[in-house]
């Protein structure tokens, strides 16, 4: 449970908000991560004062000293969550507390100050209420919320910064992948790994994503949309994609997802799928999955479907796996039946079309 927020947010409204017609044009085709709402929330932390100067303000560029530590040493974390508009016009967040708790966990790993979950939630409530008109209502659209925290102290010594900024921005979004819910192709990276034990793999920090980009380029060069990383020690165990977790659907009805070893991000969608799948009657296993098990299982038909999941990608079918010297289609390469059933169960809860038996939804406005 969370307590009361400790921060008071001053409110400075944008004197020049986006005109309604321009906003409507954006909401009709938002894409992903391209357009931002009229406001943002910010707060500053210093070693002496703790968190202070919390405010809602017009969305706009930041002024940052060129020596700000984040620009040199990458002391930064972020979160990704969504607000959904229901048919009656109300707006709801999905497991917002879980994101707040993960933000705390990531902060610890990156030696950033704790940002209390109740303040995290209060900042979300404030921004969503203020920019309510930016929450789209089209099918499978939502308002993507991006809280982040970074070292703003101008200092080039390598140590945890003594001045930190928290920011929350929001953008209306449709599908993460251009083309909607279509199976994605995955490149198996053998040249690169994403994370090693004791590293930052379980934290949501920008550095993990920066480190995935060279592999992502390799994926694109091989005609793939996403990259899959293996573990850094044996180079054998399937970890995750650049920004999504993986699930394997076995023909015998078992669902398998790589266990959390400290090198994989604990996805909120990943854990929601674990629960929903059990309720739909599947046996769910969290354990290590070798690349041979994936390839052989698909080859023999033991693995019938594979899907990726994450807040941005929701549940996205995997159509094919490609590697240096080979390629394998998952089933017929189309969207699998179990994948789409789980997807429907999840989005029905998020959009208020199915009962929220878990208490996952929180009304924001």
Residue ranges binding ligand COI (CB under 6 A): 80, 243, 310-312
Rg of the chain over all Cα atoms, to the nearest angstrom:
21
Instruction: Record the tokens describing residue 251, joined without a space.
Output: 């023909």
Query: Smallest distance, Å, CB 243 to ligand COI?
Result: 3
Smaller CB separation from ligand COI, 17 or 80? 80
Cβ atoms 358, 276 nearer than 8 A: no
Smaller CB separation from ligand COI, 75 or 99? 99
Smaller CB separation from ligand COI, 18 or 311? 311
Closest-CB residue for ligand COI? 80
Query: Smallest distance, Å, CB 158 to ligand COI?
Result: 27
Smaller CB separation from ligand COI, 241 or 298? 241
Q: Which of 218, 219, 241 is nearest to 228 (CA)?
A: 241
Smaller CB separation from ligand COI, 80 or 334? 80
Query: Smallest distance, Å, CB 140 to ligand COI?
Result: 14
How many Cβ atoms sit within 10 Å of the Cβ of residue 19? 9
Smaller CB separation from ligand COI, 146 or 295? 146
For residues 45 and 281, what is the distance between their CA atoms, to the nearest angstrom?
Answer: 47
Smaller CB separation from ligand COI, 117 or 268? 268
Query: Smallest distance, Å, CB 345 to ligand COI?
Result: 19
């Amino acid at each position: 449970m969370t307590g009361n927020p400790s921060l008071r947010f001053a409110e400075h409204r944008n004197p020049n908000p986006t005109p309604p017609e321009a906003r409507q044009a954006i909401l009709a085709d938002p894409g992903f991560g391209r357009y931002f709402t009229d406001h943002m929330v910010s707060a500053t932390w210093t070693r002496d004062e703790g968190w202070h100067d919390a405010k809602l303000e017009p969305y706009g560029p930041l002024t940052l000293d060129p020596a700000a530590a984040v620009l040199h040493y990458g002391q930064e974390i972020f979160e990704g969550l969504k607000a959904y508009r229901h048919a009656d016009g109300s707006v709801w967040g999905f497991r917002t507390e879980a994101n707040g708790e993960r933000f705390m966990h990531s902060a610890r790993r990156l030696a950033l100050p704790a940002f209390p979950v109740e303040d995290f939630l209060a900042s979300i409530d404030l921004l969503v209420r203020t920019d309510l008109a930016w929450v789209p209502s089209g099918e499978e659209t939502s308002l993507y919320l991006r809280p982040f925290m970074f070292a703003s102290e101008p200092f080039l010594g390598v140590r945890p910064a003594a001045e930190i900024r928290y920011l929350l921005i929001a953008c209306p979004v449709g599908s993460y992948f251009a083309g909607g819910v279509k199976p994605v192709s995955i490149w198996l990276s053998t040249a690169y790994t994403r994370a090693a034990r004791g590293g930052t793999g379980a934290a949501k920090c920008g550095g993990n994503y920066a480190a995935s980009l060279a592999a992502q380029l390799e994926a694109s060069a091989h005609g793939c949309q996403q990259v899959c990383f293996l573990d850094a020690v044996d180079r054998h165990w399937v970890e995750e994609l650049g920004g999504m977790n993986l699930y394997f659907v076995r023909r015998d009805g078992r669902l398998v997802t790589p266990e959390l070893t400290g090198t994989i991000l604990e996805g909120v969608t990943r854990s929601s799928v674990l629960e929903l799948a059990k309720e739909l009657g599947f046996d769910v296993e969290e354990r290590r999955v070798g690349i041979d098990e994936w390839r052989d299982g698909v080859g023999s038909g033991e693995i019938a479907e594979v899907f990726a999941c994450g807040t941005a990608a929701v549940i996205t079918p995997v159509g094919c796996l490609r590697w240096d010297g080979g390629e394998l289609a998952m089933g017929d390469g189309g969207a699998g039946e179990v994948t789409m059933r789980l997807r429907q169960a999840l989005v029905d809860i998020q959009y208020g079309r199915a009962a929220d038996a878990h208490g996952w939804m929180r009304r924001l406005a």
